[in-house]
Structure 1
Amino acid sequence: MTITIFFLSRLRLMVSRSFRSRHTSGRMAGWLWLRCVLGPHLQRIHRSPDQSRPESRVGRRGWNYQPRSLEKHTDSILGWASAIWSLSYYSSPILLCYLYRKGYICSSKLVPVSQYVGTVLVCLLGVAFLRGWERWRNTDYLQFISILEETKKNNTPANKKKLRCYDFDFLHWPSDFSWTEAGTPKLSRAGVSLLKPEPRLRGAADSVLHSVRTLPCHIISYLIVHSFGRRMLYPGSVGLLQKAMRPMLQQGQAKLIEEFDGQRNKLVACDGNEIDTMFVDRRKDGGQRGRTLVICCEGNAGFYEVGCMNTPLEGGYSVLGWNHPGFGGSTGVPFPQNEANAMDVVIQFATHQLGFQLSEIIIYAWSIGGFTASWAAMSYPEVQSLVLDASFDDLLPLALKVMPDSWRPLVQHTVRQYMNLNNADQLLKYQGPVLLIRRTKDEIITTTGPEDVMSNRGNNLLLKLLQFRYPKIMTDEGIRVVRQWLGASNHLEEASVYSGYEVDDDWCVSVLQSYQADRDAVFPWSVGEDMTLEGRRQLALFLARKYMRNFETTHCTPLPASEFHAPWRL
Structure 2
Amino acid sequence: MKLTWQCMFSPRLYKIYRDGNREAMYQPQGLEKWGDRVITTANTILNIGIYTSPFICMYIYKRGFFSIEETRNLARFFGGIGCLIAFSFLMRGFGRATNPKYVAFYKALTNTVADQRVYLNNIRKYDFDFRSWPVTYSVPPKLSSSWFDKHPFSNCANVNLPLYQRTTIQVLAYAATHTFGLRLIYPGSVGLVQNLLWSALFQGRAQLVEQFEGKRTKVGTADGNHIDTMFVDNRETSVKGKTLVICCEGNSGFYEIGIMTTPVKAGYSALGWNHPGFAGSTGLPYPEQEHNAIDAVMQYAINELGFKPENIVLFGWSIGGYAAAWAALNYPVKGLVLDATFDDLLPLAENQMPKSWALLVKEVVRSYVDLNIAELVAQYTGPIQLVRRTEDEIICLRQGLLSTNRGNHLLLRLIAARHPDVVTEAAEETTVAPLDKYVSLMDSQRAALERSEVDANDKRNLQLIGRYMRDYKSSHCTPLPEQVFDSVMTNLTSNKLN
2:120 is matched with 160
Q: Which of 330, 338, 354 is equivalent to 2:281?
A: 330
Q: How does 1:78-93 map to 2 (within 5 A)?
A: 78-93=39-54
Confirm whether residue 319 of structure 1 aligns to residue 279 of structure 2: no
Confirm whether residue 228 of structure 1 aligns to residue 180 of structure 2: yes
Cα deviation, residue 61, structure 1: 6.2
Q: How does 1:120-139 map to 2 (within 5 A)?
A: 120-139=81-100
Relative distance call for 1:325 and 1:200 in structure 2 (3 A) is closer
Q: Which of 195, 209, 214 is equivalent to 2:166?
A: 214
Q: Deviations over 1:51-98 (max 9, x none)?
A: xxxxxxxx9969521211432232222111111111111222232233
Q: Which of 10, 22, 34 is equivalent to 1:39?
A: 10
| Paired residues of 2:423 and 2:431 also in contact (CA < 8 A) | yes
Relative distance call for 1:112 and 1:199 in structure 2 (3 A) is closer
Q: Which of 390, 394, 398 is equivalent to 2:344?
A: 394
Cα deviation, residue 496, structure 1: 1.7
Q: Which amino acid in the other structure matches residue 249 of structure 1?
A: L
Q: Which of 197, 201, 219 is equivalent to 1:267?
A: 219
Q: How does 1:61-460 map to 2 (within 5 A)?
A: 63-151=24-112, 154=114, 156-180=116-140, 187-190=142-145, 210=163, 212-287=164-239, 289-380=240-331, 382-449=332-399, 451-460=400-409
TM-score normalized with structure 2 length? 0.91
Rounded Cα–Cα distance in structure 2 between residues aligned with 1:392 and 1:252 = 27
Rounded Cα–Cα distance in structure 1 between residues aligned with 2:335 and 2:238 = 21
Q: Which amino acid in the other structure matches residue 479 of structure 1?
A: V
Q: Which of 394, 414, 436 is equivalent to 1:483?
A: 436
RMSD, aligned α-carbons:
2.5
1:5 is matched with none
1:518 is matched with none
Rounded Cα–Cα distance in structure 2 between residues aligned with 1:118 and 1:304 = 43
Q: Deviations over 1:223-251 (max 9, x none)?
A: 22222222221111222221221121111
Structure 2 residue runs without a partner (length 5+): none
Rounded Cα–Cα distance in structure 2 between residues aligned with 1:60 and 1:78 = 27
Matched residue of 1:260: which SS? coil
| Paired residues of 1:481 and 1:541 also in contact (CA < 8 A) | no
Q: Which amino acid in the other structure matches residue 399 of structure 1?
A: A
Rounded Cα–Cα distance in structure 1 between residues aligned with 2:21 and 2:45 = 39
Rounded Cα–Cα distance in structure 2 between residues aligned with 1:110 and 1:335 = 43
Relative distance call for 1:348 and 1:501 in structure 2 (3 A) is farther
Rounded Cα–Cα distance in structure 2 between residues aligned with 1:357 and 1:536 = 39
Matched residue of 1:558: which SS? coil
| Paired residues of 1:390 and 1:458 also in contact (CA < 8 A) | yes
| Paired residues of 1:296 and 1:308 also in contact (CA < 8 A) | yes
Matched residue of 1:493: which SS? helix
1:23 is matched with none
Rounded Cα–Cα distance in structure 2 between residues aligned with 1:140 and 1:199 = 57
1:496 is matched with 448
Matched residue of 1:425: which SS? helix
Q: Deviations over 1:423-469 (max 9, x none)?
A: 011111211011000001100001111x2100000000000110111
Structure 1 residue runs without a partner (length 5+): 1-29, 49-58, 503-533
Cα deviation, residue 159, structure 1: 1.2
Q: Deviations over 1:303-353 (max 9, x none)?
A: 101100111111111100001111111111111111111111000101111
Rounded Cα–Cα distance in structure 1 between residues aligned with 2:481 and 2:82 = 52
| Paired residues of 1:295 and 1:364 also in contact (CA < 8 A) | yes
Cα deviation, residue 111, structure 1: 3.0
Relative distance call for 1:94 and 1:487 in structure 2 (3 A) is same
Q: Which amino acid in the other structure matches residue 39 of structure 1?
A: S
Matched residue of 2:27: which SS? coil
